[in-house]
Structure 1
Amino acid sequence: MSGKFVIDKARNGQFYFNLRAGNGEPILKSEMYVTRASAEHGIASVKTNALLDERYERKTDKSGAPYFNLKAGNHEIIGVSESYSSTSARDAGIESVKKNAADAVTQDNTKVHE
C-alpha cells in the first residue's frame, strides 16, 4: 500500500494536509492554508521537493526530541514531522517521506462536507 495525502479542514475554516505512509501513520503535516487550492499547491511542492535531501532541516524540539522540516526551494517550510524518539527514527521518517510522497494519491476529506 502506498502513501497518501489527506486534505482536511480545521475548525477555523482553513485547510491543511497530512502525508500518511502506506501503513496509515502520519509522516508530514502542513501549515494552514486559506484555500483548498493553496493546500493542493502545497502537496505539489512536497512532491517536487521530497526527494532532495538538502530540503530537509533536521532539528530537535525543546524537550530534545528529533524532528524535521521539509522546505521548498524558497526556504519556506512546507511540512513538519512528528517528534521522534531518536535521530535514527527521524531519519527513517525522512526516508519514508522520500519513498511515499512522489506517487501518493490525494484524499480530499473536505469535499464530502460541501
Structure 2
Amino acid sequence: MAHKFEIYKDKAGEFRARFQYNGETIFSTEGYSSKASAKNAIESIKKNGPGAETDDKS
C-alpha cells in the first residue's frame, strides 16, 4: 500500500498519528495522552479532510 496512517508513541510518551505516502511522512498530529485520542484524530481527518479547502498564502 502506498499510503497509510500510523499511530506511534513519541519520546515524551505521547501518542501521535502520522500519514505516510510511499514511506515518507507527509504530516503528523499533535501529541495525545491516549491512543484512543490519536485514533479519533485519524477518523476526524478521514471524515473532514476530503472537503477541506486549500488556502494558498503564497
Q: Normalising TM by the smaller chain, what interval?
A: 0.7 to 0.9
Q: Output the aligned Cα RMSD.
A: 1.9
Q: TM-score, normalised by structure 1?
A: 0.45
Give the 3 Å change call, closer, same or farther, for CA 24–50 of structure 1 in structure 2: same
Q: 2:2, 2:23 within 8 Å by CA — same for their partners in 1?
A: no
Unaligned runs of 5+ in 2: none
The residue identity in structure 2 corresponding to 1:53 is A
Distance 2:12 2:40 in 1: 20
Name the structure 1 match of 2:7: 7
Unaligned runs of 5+ in 1: 60-86, 88-114
User: Could you say which structure has the greater relative contact order, defined with CA pairs below 8 angstroms and 6 or more residues apart?
Assistant: 1
% same residue:
38
Q: TM-score, normalised by structure 2?
A: 0.81
Determine which structure has more spread, i.e. the larger CA radius of gyration. Answer: 1
